[in-house]
């Protein structure tokens, strides 16, 4: 797979969609293995920052198999999980089917995070986990999140980060380029899909630029929550009232 597909631009969407179709069935298992289960803690932090309550409307973009969307719904929000990958949504739907008796306030739908089919000012919280980095333009994805958030609405982005410390960054990038694809190969038969994490991260300016962009979009209470020295990060902001 040529690296050109990972550069921001229109060519990326089709390749990213194929990639997630190929790993959908094993995606949850690999998440647990690759992060040693830590992704559950980071996603829990996302839902805490989203601060949803019963009756709120929440949107989780690039929802994949639905972890964050389920957590928002469990906190009582009427939640929509949106993703463009049919295969990832099939897994999300089957999880929902299994918990149908308990979770009534969650829907999954297919759509493009960069062209959301919702009016302005619709949601109390808009979240995205490991999605922004995959978009043809992360800036337009973030702008869409802000557009559909209500005034005062919370915008929460969880994504791989870039550690500020150069030594730690080198170790972390070595891990992403060696161990992560190896685990992808062993448990999913697909090393390239997991090599994609580092490739896409190279083209994504990460937490500092997202913070700057949130400020440029006039969000309030902008903050960055770093984990593991910035290897993982959450960007938070609120749409002005």
Ligand X SMILES: C[S@@+](CC[C@H](N)C(=O)[O-])C[C@H]1O[C@@H](n2cnc3c(N)ncnc32)[C@H](O)[C@@H]1O
Map the footprint of ligand X across residues 57-86, applying CB under 6 A.
Answer: 62-64, 67-68, 83-85
Binding mask 86-105 for ligand X (x = CB under 6 A): --x-----------------
> What whole-number distance in Å separates Cα of residue 95 and Cα of residue 74?
14
Residue 132 interacts with ligand X (CB under 6 A): yes or no: no
**SS3 category, 169:** helix
Residue 206 interacts with ligand X (CB under 6 A): yes or no: no
195 CB-near residues (< 8 Å, 6+ apart): 177, 180, 181, 184
For tokens 């980060």, what's the residue?
Answer: 161
Residue 46 interacts with ligand X (CB under 6 A): yes or no: no
Residue 125 interacts with ligand X (CB under 6 A): yes or no: no
The answer to whether 228 and 39 are in contact (CB under 8 A) is: no
Residue 20 interacts with ligand X (CB under 6 A): yes or no: yes
- The correct pick among 34, 47, 79, 134 for binding ligand X (CB under 6 A) is 134
- The correct pick among 6, 70, 130, 160 for binding ligand X (CB under 6 A) is 130
17 vs 177, beta carbon nearer ligand X: 17
29 vs 164, beta carbon nearer ligand X: 29
> What minimum distance in Å lies between the beta carbon of 235 and ligand X?
14
52 CB-near residues (< 8 Å, 6+ apart): 58, 72, 75, 76, 77, 124, 125
For the record, the structure tokens of 158 come out as 């969880």
For the record, the structure tokens of 163 come out as 């550690």
Could you write out the DSSP letters of every residue in 174-213?
A: HHHHTHHHHHHHHHHS-HHHHHHHHHHHHT--HHHHHHHH
Determine the residue with CB nearest ligand X.
64
Residues that bind ligand X (CB under 6 A): 13, 16, 20, 31, 62-64, 67-68, 83-85, 88, 112-114, 129-131, 134-135
């Amino acid at each position: 797979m040529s690296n050109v597909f990972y550069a921001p631009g229109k060519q990326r969407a089709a390749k990213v969609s194929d990639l997630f179709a190929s790993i959908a069935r094993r995606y949850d298992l690999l998440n647990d293995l690759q992060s040693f289960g830590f992704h559950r803690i980071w996603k829990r932090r996302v839902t805490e920052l989203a601060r949803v309550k019963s009756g709120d409307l929440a949107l989780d973009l690039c929802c994949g198999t639905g972890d964050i969307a389920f957590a928002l719904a469990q906190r009582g929000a009427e939640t929509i999980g949106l993703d463009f990958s049919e295969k990832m949504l099939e897994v999300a739907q089957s999880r929902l089917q299994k918990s149908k008796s308990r979770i009534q306030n969650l829907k999954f739908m297919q759509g493009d995070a960069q062209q959301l089919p919702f009016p302005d000012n619709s949601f109390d919280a808009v979240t995205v986990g490991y999605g922004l980095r995959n978009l043809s333009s992360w800036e337009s994805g973030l702008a869409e999140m802000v557009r559909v958030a209500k005034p005062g609405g919370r915008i929460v982005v969880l994504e791989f980060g870039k550690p500020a410390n150069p030594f730690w960054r080198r170790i972390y990038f070595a891990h992403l380029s060696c161990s992560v694809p190896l685990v992808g190969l062993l448990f999913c038969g697909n090393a390239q899909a997991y090599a994609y994490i580092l490739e896409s991260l190279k083209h994504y300016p990460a937490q500092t630029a997202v913070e700057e962009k949130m400020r440029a979009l006039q969000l309030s209470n902008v903050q960055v929550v770093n984990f593991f020295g910035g290897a993982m990060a959450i960007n938070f902001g609120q749409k002005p009232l």
